[in-house]
Amino acid sequence: MLIDIGTSNPPFKVTQLKATEELKKRMGTRPVISRLIDAASVHSGIESRYVVIPDAENGSHENFYSKNGNPLEPDTRSRMIEFENWSRRLTKEAVEQVLLKNSINAGNIQRLITISCTGFFAPGIDYHLIKEFGIPMNVKRTNIGFMGCAASIIGFNSVLESINSTKDAELNTLLVAVELCSLHLQLEETRDNILANMIFADGCAAVLFSNSDNYKLTAKLELLFVDSILFDNSSELMGWKIGNTGFAMNLSSELPDIILNKAVPSLIKILESHGINSSDIDHWALHPGGRAILDSLQEGLNLSENEMYPSRTVLKNYGNMSSASILFVLKEILYGTERNIKKGDLCCAVAFGPGLTMEAALFRGI
């Protein structure tokens, strides 16, 4: 059972207009590049994002990507130092939120799943959370790294497997995803860099799962199944490469077409294999990877604007926070004003990751 979701974001909020201006200062030395940045901004579906870098703050004197008005490209080491500092802070805030709200004693956590594709250090986030909250030293730990925007749903699979295999009467699992995409700004004048710089953002989410009767009255969703598919000959469509100046991403312009013509039919087959039609789904938690991605999913699944509202709202207000995004969408479905999950409602979560892979999970309202 999914009990609750807590979220946290960095203190620096940047409008898409301001982000566009700042990016053009660093990349738009040629008119054609400035036009590409403007186009990416206009078609992003994003109004604002949260980031750990203060560069877009008015009057900021401690910019990460510039000094005395001149652009900087910090090395990977510098970016990982920032990742460690900020990931500790944001994961603490998100976990604290979900534990306090639900009066959960961290000493009762038996499994801890941590997720990120934008940084790493060791001992890592799991160790930090164990020490910070007093999670038992013998907690079973899983770290899911570098699996992109779909990683949280991969984490759901670990949750489901552990619940189905446990012999214990009580299993409390904490899943924490933190992504700091703004630490990987790339200034080489390429389409991939422009798109990544204009859509990705920073955020963290913590989810509490439990099979304990103690939480039956507060549980929101029952996790029914998780499925995955890897598409043939798709490795060049999406990926990360570690370089001397952070992680560089490639995003193919073919992605929306691949999602419409391959991913959606595959998703429909996955649902049908479980005896479910896509029309049976009451709520869709679709990864807000960008406006074009959501447009393809809406067209392929024949969804209304009301059904798209949670994903488009998260995209508009937060941007693409990689693996944390789908958890923000689920939270919007649970607590947003436009959607209310009732007992028995089906909710399907879908996200995409490097490979190209599609991960899907089905929940039922409790």
Q: Which two tokens stand for residue 255?
A: 């992605």
Residue 339 has pLDDT above 80, yes or no: no
**Contact between 361 and 349 (Cβ < 8 Å):** yes
Comparing CA positions, the residue from 159, 23, 153, 176 lying closest to residue 93 is 176
DSSP structural state of residue 259: I
Each domain of the chain, given as residue ranges in start order, spans 221-365
Residues 350-365 pLDDT 10s: 999 998 999 999 999 9
Residue 140 has pLDDT above 70, yes or no: yes
- The model's confidence at residue 165, banded by pLDDT at 50, 70 and 90, is confident
Residues 251-271 pLDDT 10s: 888 899 999 999 999 999 999
Mean pLDDT score of the chain: 93
- pTM of the complete model: 0.96
| Average pLDDT of span 25-40 | 87
- HEC states along 66-119? EECCEECCCCHHHHHHHHHHHHHHHHHHHHHHHHHHCCCCHHHCCEEEEEECCC
Say what angle helices 16-27 and 191-199 make with each other, to 10 degrees.
Answer: 150
Identify the CATH assignment for 221-365 out of 3.40.47.10, 3.40.50.720, 3.30.470.20, 3.30.200.20.
3.40.47.10
Q: What is the rounded CA–CA span in Å between residue 305 and residue 239?
A: 30
Residues 53-98 pLDDT 10s: 988 776 666 789 888 777 889 999 999 999 999 999 999 999 999 9
